[in-house]
């Protein structure tokens, strides 16, 4: 196996384009573990750690925040740049694994691996984020919702590198929350939910919801969001949204919970996220 | 893990039986089937490609038909090994055909699949979903093939049956 350590994105993209079956190496938290378990044997590793310009968080004048692909989870958890409707992304980062993992894993690595139980995918779909992808020929942007396509599957093609993730400022006065239920602290989610809400005199005027750990990709249901909009977020409206979301899910059965169990706790996790986001939206508006 | 599927085919049971017991018609309908070989009247060998995200591998599978009651019941066992990498797959399957009138057949099968080795330790929950989607793809491909052939031979082409293999509620 060959090992490359390019210092520019251009070099990295060139190596990826020329090597058959090469993989990017970001934090290595997942990739190296899979190689050790004999699950992957790439012909070459292209380390992104020395590539200039891939790490860091920038907030633009319009309020959107761009997170470089090589930004570690801890840096996102600690940033003051994400607030209002973007705050749940920071909250999700803070709930990933434990300190060692948060100092090692990167946002680019997490979304490229696309584990259905990971935290970033659900938070980024909720926050309506955009993923910037580059290969040796072109650069493109894709909505987080369309980026995740299946179990460990994404819109990435051979030769592509995730360069950054951008989170729009979103609706003014919005509050957001990410709620995760895991068997033990630091584990992947059994079920998770992201919520962005905006209120006007106690009435919900904007809602965006995604749930994680309940299907191959984060699940959004327009009708569930519509149950909240116009409501005062009373228990019955939130429960109705939970029912619609559960109906659209198809969770796996594994040691983190049976399919039935995940569907059963989903409405409760959603309700927790809604109540947190609501308090935050009320404080903002 | 257990995998079960039921689907409807708009063709007479004898024709469905003939197709489903003939490796030449079944193999092209199996997603990822790279090649097959007939070993004896009751045993076949096939190479099947399986992918889960970045993990891609080939299984060399030997299928033995253990019991046949034409045109309604077929039992088989399968045993496969990954080329080079240490995973073994074993499956015990039962297939049942039920005539639904003269030009319609309900196909149902149930398999008990065991996967040990490197792949068995990884993402079994996702593997099970993958297996289910392979089963669904097979059902669609098989139905399309049999019905196309039935239609071209002036069979019961007008009869369109709804398959109940779609993921409920999804
Ligand atoms: C013990 C443990 C606990 C964990 N707990 C959680 C948890 O609770 N929640 C959670 O969400 N995650 C969890 N994770 C996953 C972790 O947070 C990382 O997100 C994950 O390891 C991937 O990030 P990485 O930077 O280490 O990527 P790597 O392991 O380096 O790469 C992962 C994959 O992405 C590809 N890749 C990496 N970067 C790019 C890029 N820029 N462009 C294209 N492809 C790329 C690689 O080729 C590889 O296939 C856990 C991991 C471990 C080991």
Give contacts of B 45-74 with A, CB under 8 A: 52-55
Per-state percent for chain B, helix, strand, coil, to nearest 5: 25, 45, 30
Asked whether residue B61 is assigned to any structural domain, the reply reads: yes
Where are the CATH 3.30.43.10 domain residues in chain A? 1-51
Check CB contact under 8 Å for A250 and B129.
yes
In the numeric block, the tokens 């008990």 are attached to B112
Asked whether residue B100 is assigned to any structural domain, the reply reads: yes
Is domain A175-282 classified as CATH 3.30.390.50? Answer: yes
Would you call B31 an interface residue with chain A, using a CB distance cutoff of 8 Å? no
pLDDT higher at A232 or B168: A232
φ and ψ of B141, to 5 deg: -65, -40
**Residue B58 pLDDT exceeds 80:** yes
Could you report the per-residue pLDDT of B3-28, keeping only the tens digit for each?
Answer: 899 999 999 999 999 999 999 999 99
What is the arithmetic mean of pLDDT over B131-152? Answer: 91
**Residue B108 pLDDT exceeds 70:** yes
Asked whether residue B170 is assigned to any structural domain, the reply reads: no
Counting one residue from chain A and one from chain B, the pairs whose CB atoms sit within 8 A come to 51
Question: What pLDDT is stored for residue B124 in this prediction?
Answer: 84
Could you report the per-residue pLDDT of A226-259, keeping only the tens digit for each?
Answer: 999 999 999 999 999 999 999 999 999 999 999 9
pLDDT category, B164, cuts 50, 70, 90?
A: very low
User: Which string of DSSP letters, residue by residue, matches B82-142?
Assistant: ESSS-EEEEEEEEEEEEE-STT-EEEEEEEEEEEEETTTTS-HHHHHHHHHHHHHHHHHHH
Asked whether residue B116 is assigned to any structural domain, the reply reads: yes
**Residue B160 pLDDT exceeds 80:** no
Single out the residue of B62, B63, B51, B60 nearest to residue B82, CA to CA.
Answer: B60
Nearest protein Cα to ligand 1, atom 19: A110
**Residue B149 pLDDT exceeds 90:** no
**Residue B144 pLDDT exceeds 80:** yes
Asked whether residue B168 is assigned to any structural domain, the reply reads: no
All residues of chain A having their beta carbon less than 8 Å from the beta carbon of residue B126 are 116, 151-152, 252
Parent domain of B73 = 2-163
pLDDT higher at B168 or A212: A212
CATH number at residue B119: 3.30.530.20
Residues A141, A133: Cα–Cα separation, whole Å: 6
CA A102 / ligand 1 centre spacing (Å): 10
Q: Count of domains in chain B? A: 1
pLDDT higher at B69 or B164: B69
CA A250 / ligand 1 centre spacing (Å): 24
CATH number for A1-51 (one of 3.30.43.10, 1.20.1630.10, 3.30.70.3270, 3.30.1180.20): it is 3.30.43.10
Regions of chain A with pLDDT less than 70? 284-285
- In the sheet that holds A44-47, the strands lie side by side as A2-4, A44-47, A22-25
ipTM: 0.84
Q: Which residues lie below 8 Å from residue A42, measured CB to CB, with a gap of 6+?
A: A1, A21, A22, A23, A35
In the numeric block, the tokens 């059963």 are attached to A264
| For chain B, percent of residues with pLDDT exceeding 70 | 89
Asked whether residue B54 is assigned to any structural domain, the reply reads: yes
**Residue B167 pLDDT exceeds 70:** no
Check CB contact under 8 Å for B170 and A250.
yes
């Amino acid at each position: 196996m060959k090992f490359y350590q390019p210092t520019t994105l251009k070099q990295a993209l060139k190596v990826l384009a020329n090597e058959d079956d090469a993989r990017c190496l970001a934090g290595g938290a997942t990739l190296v573990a899979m190689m050790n378990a004999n699950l992957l044997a790439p012909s070459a590793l292209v380390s992104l750690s020395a590539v200039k310009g891939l790490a860091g968080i920038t907030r633009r004048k319009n309020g959107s925040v761009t997170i470089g692909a090589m930004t570690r989870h801890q840096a996102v958890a600690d940033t003051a740049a994400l607030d209002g409707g973007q705050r749940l992304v920071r909250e999700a980062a803070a709930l990933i694994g434990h300190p060692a993992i948060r100092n090692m894993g990167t946002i680019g690595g997490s979304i490229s691996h696309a584990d259905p139980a990971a935290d970033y995918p659900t938070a980024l779909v909720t926050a309506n984020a955009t993923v910037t992808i580059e290969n040796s020929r072109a650069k493109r942007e894709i909505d987080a919702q369309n980026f995740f396509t299946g179990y460990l599957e994404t819109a990435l093609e051979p030769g592509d590198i995730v360069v950054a993730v951008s989170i729009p400022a979103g609706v003014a006065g919005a509050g957001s929350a990410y709620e995760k239920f895991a068997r033990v602290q630091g584990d992947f989610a059994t079920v998770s939910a992201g919520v962005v809400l905006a209120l006007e005199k106690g009435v919900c005027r904007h809602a965006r919801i995604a749930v994680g750990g309940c299907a191959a990709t984060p699940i959004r249901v327009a009708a569930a969001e519509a149950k909240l909009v116009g409501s005062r977020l009373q228990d019955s409206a939130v429960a109705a949204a939970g029912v619609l979301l559960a109906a659209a899910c198809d969770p796996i059965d594994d040691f983190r919970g049976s399919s039935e169990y995940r569907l059963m706790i989903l409405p409760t996790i959603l309700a927790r996220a809604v109540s947190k986001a609501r308090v935050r939206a009320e404080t903002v508006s | 893990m257990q995998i079960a599927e039921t689907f409807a085919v708009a063709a007479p049971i004898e024709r469905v039986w003939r197709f489903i017991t003939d490796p030449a018609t079944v193999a092209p309908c199996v997603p990822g089937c790279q090649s097959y070989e007939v070993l004896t009247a009751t045993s076949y060998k096939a190479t099947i490609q399986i992918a889960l995200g970045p993990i891609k591998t080939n299984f060399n599978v030997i299928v033995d038909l253990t019991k046949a009651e034409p045109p309604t019941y077929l039992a088989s066992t399968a045993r496969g090994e990954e080329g080079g990498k240490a995973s073994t797959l074993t499956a015990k399957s039962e297939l049942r055909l039920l005539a639904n009138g003269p030009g319609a057949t309900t196909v149902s099968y149930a398999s008990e699949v065991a996967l040990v080795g490197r792949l068995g330790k990884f993402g079994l929950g996702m593997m099970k979903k993958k297996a289910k989607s392979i089963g669904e793809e097979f059902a669609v491909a098989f139905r399309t093939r049999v019905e196309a052939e039935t239609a071209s031979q002036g069979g019961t082409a007008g009869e369109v049956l709804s398959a109940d293999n779609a993921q409920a509620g999804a």
